[in-house]
């Protein structure tokens, strides 16, 4: 693997990066969207995607070009860039998707890679085996072995300056995905698509998508560009980026348009159900849904495809801006409210807080606590890890209220973080914006912070003064930490009262 990918900025595991594509002599900024161009049906011309939508890279199916005599000849004689009138980078697929859909293709890895190189592809793909979700472990492992053989073969093929994809398979087995990623990363190949995700995406299994991407990411180096193959719905881009995906491809913009379906960042609408367009793009600003309905089929399909592309590229820009500002997780949180399965995906992301924490910046503009899911953010985890290293001594009051002279020190307590010395109050993320009406998870996580601190400092006497935490949160506070409710049983807050008890 060459030095083709450089990360500029991180937020959680999401990143802004630069993918250098030597054969096209371009640098693609990631996260990037690759519109899928069907060699036979160009709903929106690639040249327009470049000039009007800002596409820096697209993807087309090398196998379809290979399999159709006319297309093959013109691709070979003109080259893809002239054929499509597109000066950005062009990635080609190998037919693996056709293999997964129809069970059979008649080309092998060496042949299809030679062909992709010969038609001027900038990033080619070997023929891997896209193992579907939920198959037996044996099948997943067997097919993975075949995929790995093909990746090793692909690494031997003379591909010149063309970069080569190394798809990561493994069905719905996280350990197989992780191993597949490690083995793929160990080849000399360049870009790492997480493959066979389309069935999960079609079924809105976003928690599984997050788990599989997380597993793949554990096996890949930080310098590996990761492509979520087949993911084209803007609703889930922020979630996937936060988990570390860099590239997306959209056939959805055109496929949905064909069925009068209208993409939004919150889900999909049917044109016939819309009285108003909830969008600012040029198409929606200059048409009403009724006007679009009364267009001829071809015009309506094209206009809907253009709207779908605008929304899709718009979300990529919004995500990049969020990474720059350090509020990607707030964006994920907002998107998670669009659909219950997205909320599952966001909750699954919280399960991987440790992985996100590894690259999450130490400081950002602001932390907004927006729901119980915010309590699972990597910043909270990091604070809890730091609590173990803070110096604590004597008798310490941990309080949501004022300082108390009866103690050696009075630390602040802010849910969901838990306790910290007062002089850290303005330090990110402890300067978080937190609502007044908190949920139970915030208190529970704060209690976990108290527990972490107390366990790391068994010789210190801690007392917790809280504002009426729910019993389930207080249950998480260790028994040797005295607790009292501020303004209710303050007397209990005097350490002299229970000196014997804690001795």
Catalytic positions:
93
The residue among 178 and 306 lying less far from Zn ion, judged by its C-beta, is 306
Q: Token match 């849904």: residue?
A: 289
**Rounded Cα–Cα distance for residues 75 and 66 (Å):** 9
* Of residues 49, 4, 12, 3, the one with CA closest to residue 245: 12
Piece in contact with Zn ion (CB under 5 A), picked from 302-310, 357-365, 458-466, 482-490:
302-310
- Cis check for the bond before 443: say yes or no (omega within 30 of 0): no
Question: Applying CB under 5 A, what is the total number of residues that bind Zn ion?
Answer: 5
334: tokens are 């907002």
At what angle are helices 297-325 and 328-336 packed, to 10 degrees?
140
Piece in contact with Zn ion (CB under 5 A), picked from 300-308, 350-358, 374-382, 491-499:
300-308
3-state helix, strand, coil in the chain (%, to 5): 45, 15, 35
The residue among 186 and 314 lying less far from Zn ion, judged by its C-beta, is 314
* Of residues 1, 2, 11, the one with CA closest to residue 358: 11
Strands (E), 13-56: 14-21, 26-30, 32-37
The answer to whether the Cα torsion of 100, 105, 109, 115 is positive or negative is: negative
Alpha helices in 203-339 (DSSP H): 206-219, 237-242, 252-258, 282-286, 289-293, 297-325, 328-336
The residue among 281 and 358 lying less far from Zn ion, judged by its C-beta, is 281
From the CB of residue 92, how many other CB atoms can be counted at a distance below 10 Å? Answer: 30
Piece in contact with Zn ion (CB under 5 A), picked from 23-31, 80-88, 299-307, 322-330:
299-307
- Cis check for the bond before 429: say yes or no (omega within 30 of 0): yes
Going by the DSSP 8-state scheme, the letter that residue 168 receives in this structure is B
Residue 245 assigned as binding residue? no
**Alpha-carbon distance values, 290 to 91, 271, 273, 370, 486 (Å):** 37, 9, 10, 37, 60
Q: Does 300 bind Zn ion (CB under 5 A)?
A: no
Compute the half-sphere exposure of residue 134: CA atoms within 13 Å on the CB side of its CA.
Answer: 5
Contact 140, 173 (CB under 8 A): yes
Residue 295 assigned as binding residue? no
Residue 279 assigned as binding residue? yes
Contact 464, 450 (CB under 8 A): yes
**Rounded Cα–Cα distance for residues 50 and 48 (Å):** 5
At what angle are helices 206-219 and 174-186 packed, to 10 degrees?
40
From the CB of residue 174, how many other CB atoms can be counted at a distance below 10 Å? Answer: 15
The residue among 110 and 266 lying less far from Zn ion, judged by its C-beta, is 266
The residue from 307, 320, 352, 384 that contacts Zn ion (CB under 5 A) is 307
Alpha helices in 119-251 (DSSP H): 137-156, 174-186, 198-202, 206-219, 237-242
x/- mask, Zn ion, residues 228-267, rule CB under 5 A, reads ----------------------------------------
Residue 284 assigned as binding residue? yes
The residue among 207 and 265 lying less far from Zn ion, judged by its C-beta, is 265
Residue 432 assigned as binding residue? no
The residue among 91 and 271 lying less far from Zn ion, judged by its C-beta, is 271
From the CB of residue 337, how many other CB atoms can be counted at a distance below 10 Å? Answer: 13
| Smallest separation (angstroms) from Zn ion to the CB of 304 | 9
| Smallest separation (angstroms) from Zn ion to the CB of 306 | 8
The residue among 303 and 375 lying less far from Zn ion, judged by its C-beta, is 303
Contact 5, 225 (CB under 8 A): yes
**Rounded Cα–Cα distance for residues 232 and 238 (Å):** 12
The residue among 222 and 281 lying less far from Zn ion, judged by its C-beta, is 281
DSSP bridge partners of 15? 10
Segment 265-284, which members bind Zn ion (CB under 5 A)? 279, 281, 283-284
| Smallest separation (angstroms) from Zn ion to the CB of 245 | 24
Q: Which residues are part of a known binding site for substrate?
A: 128, 196
Binding site for Zn ion (CB under 5 A): 279, 281, 283-284, 307
Q: Which residues are part of a known binding site?
A: 128, 196, 279, 281, 284
Q: Which residues are part of a known binding site for Zn(2+)?
A: 279, 281, 284
């Amino acid at each position: 693997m060459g030095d083709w990918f450089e990360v500029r900025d991180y937020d959680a595991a999401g990143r802004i990066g630069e993918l250098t594509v030597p054969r096209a002599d371009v640098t693609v900024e990631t996260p990037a969207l690759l519109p899928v161009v069907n060699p036979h049906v160009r709903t929106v011309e690639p040249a327009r995607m470049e000039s009007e939508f800002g596409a820096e890279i697209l993807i087309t199916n090398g196998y379809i070009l290979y399999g159709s005599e006319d297309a093959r000849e013109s691709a070979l004689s003109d080259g893809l860039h002239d054929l499509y009138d597109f000066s950005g980078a062009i990635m080609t697929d190998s037919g693996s998707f056709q293999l997964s859909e129809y069970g059979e293709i008649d080309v092998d890895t060496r042949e299809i890679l030679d062909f992709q190189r010969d038609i001027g592809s900038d990033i080619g793909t070997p023929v891997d085996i896209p193992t579907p979700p939920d198959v037996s472990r044996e099948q997943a492992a067997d097919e993975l072995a075949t995929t790995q053989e093909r990746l090793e073969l692909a690494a031997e093929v003379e591909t010149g300056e063309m970069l080569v994809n190394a798809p990561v398979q493994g069905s719905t087995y996280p350990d197989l995905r992780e191993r597949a990623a490690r083995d793929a990363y160990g080849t000399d190949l360049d870009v790492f698509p997480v493959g066979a995700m389309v069935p999960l995406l079609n079924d809105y299994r976003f928690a599984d998508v997050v788990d599989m991407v997380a597993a793949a990411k554990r096996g890949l180096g930080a310098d590996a560009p990761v492509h979520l193959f087949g993911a084209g719905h803007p609703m889930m881009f922020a979630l996937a980026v936060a988990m570390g995906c860099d590239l997306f491809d959209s056939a959805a913009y055109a496929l949905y348009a064909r069925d009068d379906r209208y993409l939004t960042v919150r889900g999909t609408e049917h044109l016939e159900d819309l009285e108003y367009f909830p969008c600012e793009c040029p198409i929606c600003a200059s048409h009403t849904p009724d006007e679009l309905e009364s267009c001829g089929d071809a015009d309506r399909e094209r206009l809907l495809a253009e709207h779908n592309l605008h929304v899709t590229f718009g979300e990529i820009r919004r995500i990049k801006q969020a990474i720059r500002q350090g509020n990607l997780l707030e964006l994920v949180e907002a998107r998670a409210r669009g659909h219950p399965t997205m909320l599952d995906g966001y909750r699954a992301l919280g399960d991987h807080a440790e992985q996100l924490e590894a690259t999450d910046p130490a400081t950002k503009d602001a932390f907004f606590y927006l729901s119980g899911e915010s309590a699972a953010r990597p910043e909270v985890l990091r604070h809890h890890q730091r609590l173990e290293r803070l110096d604590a001594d004597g008798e310490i009051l941990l309080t949501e209220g004022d300082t108390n002279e009866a103690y050696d020190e009075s630390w602040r307590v802010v849910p969901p973080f838990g306790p910290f010395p007062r002089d850290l109050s303005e330090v990110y993320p402890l300067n978080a914006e937190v609502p007044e009406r908190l949920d139970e998870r915030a208190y529970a996580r704060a209690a976990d912070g108290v527990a972490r601190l107390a366990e790391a400092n068994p010789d210190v006497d801690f007392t917790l003064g809280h504002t009426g935490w729910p019993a389930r949160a207080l249950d998480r506070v260790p028994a040797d930490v005295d607790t009292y409710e501020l303004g209710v049983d303050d007397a209990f807050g005097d350490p002299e009262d229970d000196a014997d008890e804690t001795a």
